[in-house]
Every structure is written in C-alpha cells, then in structure tokens.
Structure 1
Amino acid sequence: MSFRVGEKSGRSLVAHVLKKNILPVAIAALCVYAVAQKLGETGFDQILEVVFAVTPLQWVLAIMATAASFLVVGQYDALFHRWLKTGVPFARATWTGASAIALAQTLGMGLATGTIARWRALPEVSIATALKVTNYVSVSFMAALGLLSAVLLALPTSDVLVWGGYLILAMGGVALACLLSLAQPCWLPFPVPPIRLMLRLVVLAGIDTGLAALALWVFLPHEVQPTFLLLFTAFTLSLGAGLISGAPGGVGPFELCLVTLLPTVPEPDLLGAVLAFRLTYYALPACLAIGLLVRPRRPAPRNVRGAGASELPAFQRAEACLAQTPGHRIALTAPKRALHLAEASQTLVAIGDPVTGGTFKPIDFNNLSDAAGRDQRWPILYKCSGRSARAARSLGWYVVRISQEAWVTPQTFTLDTRARRQLRRKLKQAARAGVRVNKAEHLPMAELARVSAEWVARTGPERGFSMGRFDPGYVASQRCYLAWSGDRLVGFATFHVCDHEWALDLMRCADNMPDGTMHTVLSQAIEDAARCKIPKVSLAAMPLEAPSAVLRHLASHPRAKGLRRFKLSFGPKTRYLYAAAPNRAVLTLGAIDVLLRIRAPGPSTASEPVPADDPEWQIA
C-alpha cells in the first residue's frame, strides 16, 4: 500500500514547519543583533584571535569535559528506557541518547530531531516510544535545570530574604514534583516518573551542566577567568534561555545572557571562548552523532533473561492469582521459586511470601532490591509473614506489623465450637429468610454487575492494588458463589484458587440483603473445600484490633470493625502480617504509596494472565 501527499498538503506541511520555527529564528536574530550592538567597534577578527590563542592543553581539557558530559547526558535516555521497560540495553540506550541530544541541541527543533534520531538508532522501538522518551528527557532536564538555577542563584548571596526566596522556589518545585509523582493525578496526560528516578536525573543534570560549564571555563584566558561558581551560575541561566527560545543551538539568547551576566569579562574574550566551546561541545559531538546514525542499524536483542513455562511451578498461595491484574506480575527469583510483585508509583512491592515452592525459603532481598532499582523504585515487602519479616529485620530492614490473616482448615471445620456461636446464629437467620447459596457454573454477569453497583453506591468506590475489583473478565477466572433470596441475587463472593489453598477475594452485597447471607456463602465455600480436600481456606487480611495511631490513620476504615467481627465469627486461626523496607523513610513513603494505590487505583480492566516466558515476568 502506498500513500501520495498532494501538492496542497505538501505546501501546508512546509507552511506549518515555517510557522513553527519562524519565532525561534527571529528571536535568535534579534539576540545576535543585540550582542553585536554590545560589541560596538570590536570586530569578529578579535574574537577569532582569542580562538586561535587557545592552547592544545585547553582543547584537550575541553574535549575531555565534553566527553564526560555526554556520557552523563546519555544516561537520561538509559534511565527512561529502564523505567518504560522498552528492553533496550543500558549501554545502547546511553549512546543513542547522547547522539540524539548532540544532534538536537545543534540543529534545533529538539522534539522532532531527537525523536527521529532515537527512532533511527533504535529500530526495535516504535516512533511513539521514541517520542515518549524524547518528551520525558526534554521536560525532566528543563525541570532539573530550573531547580539547579534556583540553588545556584541562592549560593553567592548573603541577603537572607533573597536566599530564602530562591530556597523556597527550589523547595516548592521539589514538593510539587514529589506530590505529582505520588498522587499520579488522572488529569495528567502521562505518568509522572518516580521520585527515585527524578532524584537521579537532578544529580545527572547537575554533573552534566557542570561539565559543560567547565568546557567553556577552560577556554577563557586565565587573566579574565571568573570563579567557576560564577560562570556555572551564568552558564546555567544562559543555557535555560537558549533552550526556552527554541533557537538552533540556543544561538543568540545564550550569548546575550552570558554577556549580560558576566560584565567583568571582556566581550571578545568571552565570545571567543563561546565560539571555541561551540566547536567542541556542539559541532564535534553533532558530527560524531551523524556518523553513528547514518550507519544501518539492526535491532539489538533484548537485555532480559527469559524463562520457559516449565520453569514456573504451581502456585502455593492462591492470592498470587491477583497477578493477572494490571501493574502486577510473577517474577522468578530463583529456579522454581517466584515472587508476586506489584508496581506502585514509587515502590516495587513484594506482596506476601514467595508464591511457589513447597517449603519456606526467605525472599532474596538482594535480587528484589536490584529489580526495584532497575524499575527506578524502592523495594518494600507488604503483607509478608513473620518469617519473612524476621529475615528482613536481620538484614537491617525496618519492619512494622500491619494486619492479620485469618484462615480455616476445611477438613476440621465444625460449627460445634464456642468460638463459632455467632456464626451459628447468623446461619439460622439466613436460613429463616430463605437464603440459598450455590457455586456459579454460569455467571449471571448482568446480575453480578447490579449487585456490585449497589454495593459501590452504598459503601463508596472499590479499593484496588492488593484487593480485587469487580470486572467480568477478572471474576470469570475465579471460583464464585451466589446467594439468592427467592429469584433475586442478593450477594456473591469470589475466591482465588490453587491446588493448596482458596483465598477469599470479593464480597458484594445487594441492598436489603438478609442478615447472615455472607456467613452462609463462606460456610458453603468451606464445606466445598473440605470435599475437594483443599488444606486451607484463607479469609484474607483483616485490620489489627489496636493498631498504632499512624497505622489507624493510614489503614483504618469505617467498615474495619465489622469486617474483623465477620471474619472472627468463623473462629479462624490467625497470623500477623508485616510490611518491611530498607529504612524508615522508604517504609513511610511505601505506606503512603500503597495507600494511594489502594484508595485511588488505576483502570480496573483485568489483563490476561501473562505466560511465564514473557521477559517482563523475570526479576533478573
């Protein structure tokens, strides 16, 4: 199939490009004119004399600073490729990013130039991915440059008010970025990078800009050299002005700002140093980048270890079936051993203990930390057992108790105990109301959706992340029990199932559901589990009876006491569940992160279960 672009559309495209770039070119021309006016009678010959006077040592030092700067610059791309999980190896992404930035900063039209260069260098990624990386690199660098400028402006001043103003400006920007990254507001058209990634980008931007300023500084004659801090500050502000103008290479605005901000440096010396700097930092890298990009490129193999489906043993924990939902995955941490991982905005969350393997073995914390680092997140454990918590504490991790899991053993479950007297009363009430329960062979989706909608209208939005949400595709993969009053569906409950365990997931009640209905539903499920010889039925987690004030604020809910009373009516065995992180700060951040994901989850559409040989299901 071929497409032809008509003469009219071709003219429109040219007109659009001209309109898009006429303003930056006009700004550049005006700034160049202003610089020429500042020079007065100084001719271009005097500027060239400064360039010709540069010593070989100065050229070598500037080239070394430039090479180091571009080595740092390329890591912007590499970090974003890791975060976006494109599968591009770190080294390949680094040199591609450095090449794209070298061309974009010299030719101008940074978004278009950078995207095309990245797409050309990486045939294995789509142009949409290349555009996404270009956007993230551009926006994040400008934000980091703004923060760096505010800090540099505050350093030389002794005026408390001025210093405080710049500090407030910088801290305000940091706070806003952290808030957006944590909250991930739905009105933003793109995900905000994790705080850990943003911190690394700020550090890289500081190093990169410092090395670029150093490349300019070494070209200045020694007798007129300002202090490096002064030049660094002026360079950062001038670079920002050049980038904002959109002029190719920032030519014009960069020079005008630099001449204005460094009045003590003679214009010929300063502009001569700038010309030498542009040859070293702009022209030379651009020529090298063109040489690298014109070569035919083949897609590189993905830098991920795959695993055959036979490597993934059967789940020992039914709750691991939650991994079919978006943002969750099962990752191999060792042969025949896997972990349920979920991505929050700032943390990589290991939910529970390892989900496979017949005997308990502690989590590989080094492997988990490495996986979180590759995702630009921090690792935390959530709802892990006491044994995993002890293993984490022995490594210096900070551990806190967060909830209790309740479960029963179906083969020994009986109503004739004192602990289940309330359950007996509830079952009798439901029986008198004519409630009947059956396992769903064919799901009445319209009725299930009605019951779920009534429950949401009565109790508020569904929670997510570590809790299931109603979705036809999701419920269809579970064991479902239906409660009827006459011909009307009044409630249902779903269970995650595996060979060793059933785990309660959704419980949804219609309006005016008879008392004791849900007790009857769970009792029927426990009875069926006994017939199927299932060793354990988990009633899932329940709130602690007396959590700390912090946990009460973060995790409590008006229905918490009722939920705890409901589960305790089955006389279950219980065990404490814990959260753990490398330190208190990460645990606090992780608690907020998980809470936000629970209370404001993303799209509820259940994904298809991912096969074990999918590379993104590997932790290392």
Structure 2
Amino acid sequence: MLSLKTMTAGPMLHTLRFAAPFAMAALCLWALSARVELPTLADLGALLGRLQLWQWVAACTATAVSFWALGRYDSVAHRHLQTGLDGPQARRAGMAAIAFSQMVGFGLFTGAYARWRLLPGLTAMQSAQLTGMVGLTFMAALATISGVTMVLFAPAPWFSWVGALILVTTACATVVSFLAPALPLGKLHLRWPSLTAMMALATWALLDVAAAGTALWLLLPAGVEIAWTTLLVVYFIALGAAILSSAPGGTGPLELMVLSLLPGESSTGLLAALLAFRLVYYALPAALACAVMLMPRQAQDMRAPLSDPDLLGALRKPASALPEKRPRAETGIIRQNGGHVQAFGFTQVAMLDSPQISVAFFDPLSGDPSEIFAPLRHYARQRNTVPCLYKCSRRTARAARRAGWSVWRIAAEAVVFPTSFSDSGSSHRQLRRKLRHAEKAGLTVHTAPPTLPLYQMQALDQLWQARHGGAHGTTMGRFEANYLAGQRVFLAWQAGKIIGFVSLHTAADEWCLDLIRICPDAPDGTGHILVRTAIAAAADESIARLSLAAVPDHRWAGRMDPGLRRFKSCFAPQWEGRYMACPSWSEMALALAELVRLVHRPGPVTPADPPYRVEGNSADQENLADDAWTNAEDIAAHANEHSFHNEVEDYAIALKRLP
C-alpha cells in the first residue's frame, strides 16, 4: 500500500500543478462575470471597429518599445550569471521567450525552454537559472515601480499607504543585499544582483511596463476617459497579479484586477480595450516568437570570442603571475584578497572583483595608464559592477580626468629612499629618541629565517587583534602563513621572546610596509626600530624605494587614526598623493561604500598561493638549509639564553595573556 501511495503521489502532484493556473483563470473569469455584465461579441466588435488606425499603430510602437526593453533586461541577467552570451541574439531570444511564455503561461518552464532552444550556447541549467532570475527580479522591480506610482499617483488614499510600505520593504531588502551579497543555501550560494544591476533592471522594467501600460491606454475606445497615470498604476498591479497566477496570458486575473480597481468606468469599454491590448501585446508578439522558434537552430555556438575592440587581448591571470619587476610592490595584496592580474593587451593591472565593483589597485603593472579606462569600463559592465581605480598616482589621476572620469584624492603615501636614508638631522629627532628607548629596553631586530616562527607570530597577532578590535582586510594584509612566506619579515626580540614583527611586500625596485604587529606591553620604539631595520636591509640590497604605505588624506582624514600618521612622520618621508577614480561621482559613492564594507567586514582569511620557489639541485638545497640554520643561530646568540623559549612554549605563554 505504501508503494502504491508513493507511485500515485507524484503524478497527482504534477496534475495539480498543471491544472492550478487554468483553475485560477476560470475562477477569475467566473468572478468577473458575477461582478459586471459581460458585453456581447457584437458589442465588443463594434467598439474595436471604432478604434482609429493611429491608435493601433501607436499601440504597436509602444509594444515594440516594451519588448526592446525586455531584451535589454535579459542582457543584464546574462551578465549577472556570466553566461558569456550578452549580445544581440541573446536579447532577441529573451524577447521571444517572454512573448512565448506570457501567451502560453507556465512562465518558468516555457521561458526556459524558449531560451534554451534559441541559444545553442546555453545549457538547460543556465536557461532555467536565467528564466528564474528574470522572473523573480522582474516581480521585485514591478513591486518597487508600483510602490512609487502608488505614492505619486494614488487613485485612492489607501494606495499611498500600501505604496509606502512596499518602498520601505524594498529599501531594507536593498541594504541587506549590499551588506550580505550572498545567501548560503546549503552547498549553494545565492548571489544577489549588484546595486548597478538592480538599477539597470529597475530602469528596463520601468520602461517595459510603462510602454505596455501606455499601449493599453492608447487602445481605450472613445468615451472611456481615464488618466494615463491612473491607468498605469492599475495596470502595474493587475500585471503583478497576472504573472503570479501563471495563467495563460494572464487571462482572468488581469481583467478582474483592472475592472475591480476602476469600478466607476465603463466595463464594456475597458473589456474592449483589454481585448485589443491582448491582440497587440500578446497575440502578435507570440506569433512572431513562434515563427522564430520554428526556424532551424543555428549550428554554431554563441560563445564566440569577444568582438569588443576594448576587450581584445583580455586575459585573466592568477595573483601568482605578478611580475617581480613592477612599479608598486603593494600590488602583492591581491595574493590574499582574492584578486588577480588582468591583462588588456599590453596593459596589466592588479584587480579585485567584488559584488559591487571591479577595482584596479594602484597604477597599471605595465603599459600606458591612459589605455586602461575604456577596457576597465567594459570589463566592469560585463559583470554589472562599477569600474574603479584605487590609490593610483597623480599621473594616472591626470589621465583619468582627461578620460572624463571623476577623481578624488583619498590618501597620502609615505615614501623613503633607503640608499640615501640617514637618521641625522632635525627632521629625524623624534625617530632617534624612539630608537634609543628601544635599544635601552634590550630590543634586537633580525630578518626572519626562511622557516617562520608561526606559532609565536600568530599568538602575537591574536593579542594585537584583541586590543585593536580585529584586523581590517582587502586593502590591508592579514596574518596567514603562505601570505607571510611570500614577504620580507623582520622580528623584534626581547629576552628571547618575539614582541613584534613587520612584513613587507617586495618587488625588484621597491618594498612596501604591510603588517605591523606589536605586543601590547612592548617597549616604546618597538615599531620604529623594526621599520628602521627594514630600511637598512633595503639599503643593503640597493632597493630604491621603500613605501611606509598610505594614510587617509581627505576632508575627514583628521579623525582617522592620527597616531599612524605621527608614526610614519618620524621617518621624514616624502608624501605622495594617492587618488581614487570612477566614471562618475555617483559610481564613486557606491565604490567608496563597497570598499568600506570590504575593509571593515572582510571574509574569512583564505590561504594565499605559496610563494614561487626556484627548484635547485641537492647542493643548493643544502646551502639553503645552512643559511637557515645560521640565521637561527644568529637570533639565538642575541637572545637571553636563560629565557629563550621554543615556539610551543612562547605560544602557550602568549595565549595565557589573551583576555
């Protein structure tokens, strides 16, 4: 008996799902007949015959505009799902799929089938995802548009309250989607559209439904005087009910809602207009869509190479492809934040793709800065994101202004020149005082051995985070073994214990300060002696520039960590302006908000790619081992022999001090 129930439950459920839209249509038609007196076919024919030719032509034009907007809507959805099919054929397939599905009903299934048939490069799963996204986002956009029109053009007082409630809900949902761009569903992660995509979807949806509502308004027969704005509000609500019903063509729910929300108007005239509207907006596009779908399928795959000249030569490389000889060592940050090297022909940039922005860090790794703006803008458009340059130099900022981008100075970078650096002079008086304090406290600083004392360093990092409320990320490094293994690290020792360390990004001609971790009770000057030792090591290796990284330098910078600026000022650096550039100020605001979110709410620390190591013969390996042992002996020789602990002991001691 159990098996019989199991066998019959499936078919019954499918039958109910199939019959439900038809039952809804029949129920609405019955309610409509009970509410108003339905006109005869002769009366409807007479009213349709009175429509002028210009009304039919104008309604057809409005319908064409509506479906053109729907094709653009599909393009945004393709870019969000990264199908690689954003082109004219994809837009035409979207228009045909919507025309076919809205006439036949069962939009999720019929729309997915139509897109799959018309786009050979689209898999069945992608087609279903695309159709589902289009349907869900369109309903959300329609609800928002209805809310706005209900507030602005309320036919009755209660419309304003309902519209306001819809807008508040929409605003809250938008904020949540920004703060939590992905929704975990078991093993799946549902990624919300970016704010840029939401704006585009809302714009195309508004154009679509406004044009469709205008087509209905244009087909009103003589004697039916309804304001255009009033009819639009009513049509938006009726359209939502028709879509939710999944009834073929929305038949029943659409008519019932229009007549219910316009009780004082002529029911015969409204039904005649709705019949004409169905001929123009449903039957004609559906006939064209069926003709397109009956054509032989094209044999070629639509995933052809990009034809956009601004993206010719575009190539994505992993972060490990960062060249050793590059203008900015700090681009090494992409080894940890999920970034990559993006090549546009001969121009390469260190890039990070986030849910809202496509940001290129600093100056291009190679190529002319003036050649980056058009490719970056097209690249971001393919992802529905905002293009952004972050912490670029004055030269690149000037090129951005010439390209018509908005530019804002956001930071000042502290730069010293190791080969000519000296502690003498009045400008380094404060530095000399700090160094004396560190030396009197018995601090010694050494380059870390190839095998880092990670347990002690991690314990110190935890102490530092406990005091400072966590570590920022994305544009700033965080503690992680592989990440630090690819940097130059200096350790500060006192009484045989590590009390501080700094790490630096390295390139052929520049080093850049990254992590600074100091024990809460470390002697005054610990950070200064660490950085001073790094400058001396850079001078020994003939490194031309050493960046102490940037500090905020804008209107509100005075309230943002003034201690960091004082610390770097002790080295009397050369301050260089750093800028942010976006195509417009509105995009700049969105990019800033996203960067703030990424910095203050970074995701979990993920292991960086291990640093590239040159393979050598056994003799080379023995030499490396000898060097590592020599470094370890040198550190031990400078430490207090009676208080020198191994890594496990120091880690346990540090953990006891955690709050």
Larger CA Rg, structure 1 vs 2 = 2
**Are 2:100 and 1:103 equivalent residues in the alignment?**
yes
Q: Which amino acid aligns with 2:563?
A: G
Alignment of 1:93-492 (within 5 A): 93-125=90-122, 129-156=126-153, 165=161, 168-169=164-165, 172=168, 175-176=171-172, 178-180=174-176, 182-184=178-180, 190-224=190-224, 226-263=226-263, 265-293=265-293, 295-296=296-297, 298-300=300-302, 301-303=304-306, 305-307=312-314, 314-326=325-337, 328-332=339-343, 335-343=345-353, 345-357=355-367, 361-362=369-370, 364-393=372-401, 398-431=406-439, 432-485=441-494, 488-492=497-501
Match in the other structure for 1:568: 569
The answer to whether the Cα contact below 8 Å between 1:353 and 1:385 also exists between their aligned partners in 2 is yes
Is the 8 Å Cα contact of residues 151 and 164 (structure 2) preserved in structure 1? no
Alpha-carbon distance in 2 for matches of 1:113, 1:317: 53
What is aligned with 2:641?
none
Q: Which moved more, 1:229-238 or 1:125-134?
A: 125-134
| Pair 308,272 (structure 1): closer, same or farther in 2 beyond 3 Å | closer
Q: Which amino acid aligns with 2:346?
A: K
- Partner amino acid for 1:320? T
State the AA in 2 paired with 1:196: T
Deviation at 1:526, TM superposition (A): 2.6
Residues 598 and 130 from structure 1, CA distance in 2 versus in 1: closer, same or farther, beyond 3 angstroms?
Answer: farther
Q: Is the Cα contact below 8 Å between 2:48 and 2:272 reproduced in 1?
A: yes
Which one is further off, 507-516 or 210-219?
507-516
Per the alignment, residue 522 of structure 1 pairs with 531
Aligned in 2, Cα 1:583/1:53: closer, same or farther, shift over 3 Å? closer
Asked if 2 retains the 8 angstrom alpha-carbon contact of 1:326 and 1:606, the reply is: no
Rate the CA distance shift 1:466–1:17 in 2: closer, same or farther, 3 A.
Answer: farther
**Conserved in 2, the CA contact under 8 Å of 1:106 and 1:249?**
yes
What do the CA deviations read for 1:566-601 (whole angstroms, capped 9, x no partner)? 322333222122334455554444433322221122
Q: List runs of 5+ in structure 2 lacking aligned partners.
A: 611-659
Structure 2 residue matching 1:571: 3-state secondary structure: coil
8 A Cα contact 1:87 1:302, kept in partner? no
Does structure 2 conserve the Cα–Cα contact (< 8 Å) formed by 1:312 and 1:336? no
Distance change (3 Å), C-alpha of 1:309 and 1:389: closer
For the Cα contact (< 8 Å) 1:469–1:506, is it kept in 2? yes
The CA RMSD measured in Å over matched residues stands at 3.9
Describe the shift of the 1:75–1:399 C-alpha distance in structure 2 as closer, same or farther (beyond 3 A): closer
Change (3 A) 1:347 1:222: same
- CA shift in 2, pair 1:396/1:512, >3 Å: same
Change (3 A) 1:452 1:96: farther
Question: Deviation of residue 280 (structure 1)?
Answer: 3.8
Cα deviations across residues 311-334 of structure 1 (Å, max 9, x unaligned)?
Answer: 99752211222234456444445x
Q: Is the 8 A contact 1:332 1:338 kept in 2?
A: yes
Aligned to 1:352, the other structure's residue is in SS state strand
Q: Which amino acid aligns with 1:477?
A: G
- Comparing 458-467 with 342-351, which one deviates more in the overlay? 342-351
- Name the SS for the 2:478 alignment partner: coil
- Displacement of 1:20: 4.8
Residue 540 (structure 2) pairs with residue 531 (structure 1) = yes
Distance 2:37 2:211 in 1: 32
Look up the match of 2:597: 596
Query: C-alpha displacement at 1:405, in angstroms?
Result: 0.7
Deviates more, 1:143-152 or 1:28-37: 143-152
Q: Which has the higher contact order (CA 8 A, sep 6+)?
A: 1
Q: Kindly tell me: are residues 273 and 495 of structure 1, through their superposed partners in 2, closer, same or farther at Cα, counting changes over 3 Å?
A: same
1:275-316 per-residue CA deviation (whole Å, 9 max, x = no partner) reads 443344334434544554564454311435335799997522
Aligned mates of 1:362, 1:190 — CA distance in 2: 37
Cα 1:376/1:302, change in 2 over 3 Å: same
- Alpha-carbon deviation of 1:541? 0.7
Report whether the alignment pairs 1:503 with 2:512.
yes
**Whole-angstrom distance in 2 between the partners of 1:317 and 1:347:** 21
Flag the 1:605–1:52 CA change in 2: closer, same or farther, 3 A.
farther
Tell me the SS of whatever aligns to 1:354: strand
Alpha-carbon shift at residue 253 of structure 1 (Å): 1.2
Q: Tell me if structure 1 keeps the 8 A contact 2:322–2:332.
A: no
> Structure 1-normalised TM-score?
0.81
Give the residue type in structure 2 aligned to 1:475.
Answer: L
Q: Distance in 1 between matches of 2:53 and 2:251?
A: 26
Q: In structure 2, do the counterparts of structure 1 residues 11 and 103 end up closer, same or farther at CA, with 3 Å as the change threshold?
A: farther
How far apart in 1 are the matches of 2:364 and 2:119?
36
Conserved? CA contact 2:465–2:471, under 8 Å? yes
Measure the CA separation in 2 of the matches of 1:286 and 1:41. Answer: 26
Specify every segment of 5 or more residues in structure 1 that has no aligned partner in the other structure, as ranges.
Answer: 1-5, 610-620
Letter of the aligned partner of 2:395 in structure 1?
R
Q: Residues of 2 paired with 1:156 and 1:593: CA distance?
A: 35
Give the Cα–Cα distance (whole angstroms) in 2 for the partners of residues 10 and 95 of structure 1.
42
TM-score, length of structure 2 as denominator length: 0.77
Are the aligned partners of 2:499 and 2:518 in contact in 1 as well (CA < 8 Å)?
yes
Contact map agreement 2:60 2:215 (CA 8 A) in 1: yes
Contact 2:147 2:164 in 1 (8 A): no
In the alignment, what sits opposite 1:33? 30
SS at match of 2:199: helix
Give the deviation of 1:120 after TM superposition.
4.6
Alignment partners' CA distance in 2, 1:326 and 1:114: 38
Contact 1:397/1:581, CA 8 A, preserved across alignment = yes
- 1:312, 1:332 within 8 Å by CA — same for their partners in 2? no
Q: Deviations over 1:374-405 (max 9, x none)?
A: 44444444323233344445666554433221
Distance (Å, rounded) in 2 between the aligned partners of 1:126 and 1:435: 63
Aligned to 2:628: none
Post-superposition Cα deviations, 1:532-558, rounded to whole Å, max 9, x if no partner, equal 3221111111244xx53x4456xx1xx
| Post-superposition CA distance 1:94-140 (Å, at most 9, x none) | 12322332333234343344344444544545555444433432233
CA gap of 1:269–1:592, structure 2 versus 1, over 3 A, is: same
Aligned residues: 592
CA distance in 2, matches of 1:424, 1:187: 53
Return the offset for 1:33: 0.8
SS, match of residue 453 in structure 1: helix
**Distance change in 2, residues 1:258/1:534 (3 Å):** same
Identity %: 35
> Post-superposition shift, 1:181?
5.0
Offset of residue 34 of structure 1? 0.6
Question: Aligned partner of 1:412: which letter?
Answer: S
CA distance in 2: counterparts of 1:20 and 1:275, whole angstroms: 27
Residues 343-375 of structure 1: CA deviation (Å, up to 9, x unaligned): 455444443233325xx7556545544544444
**Matching residue of 1:613:** none
- 3-state SS of 2:365 partner: coil
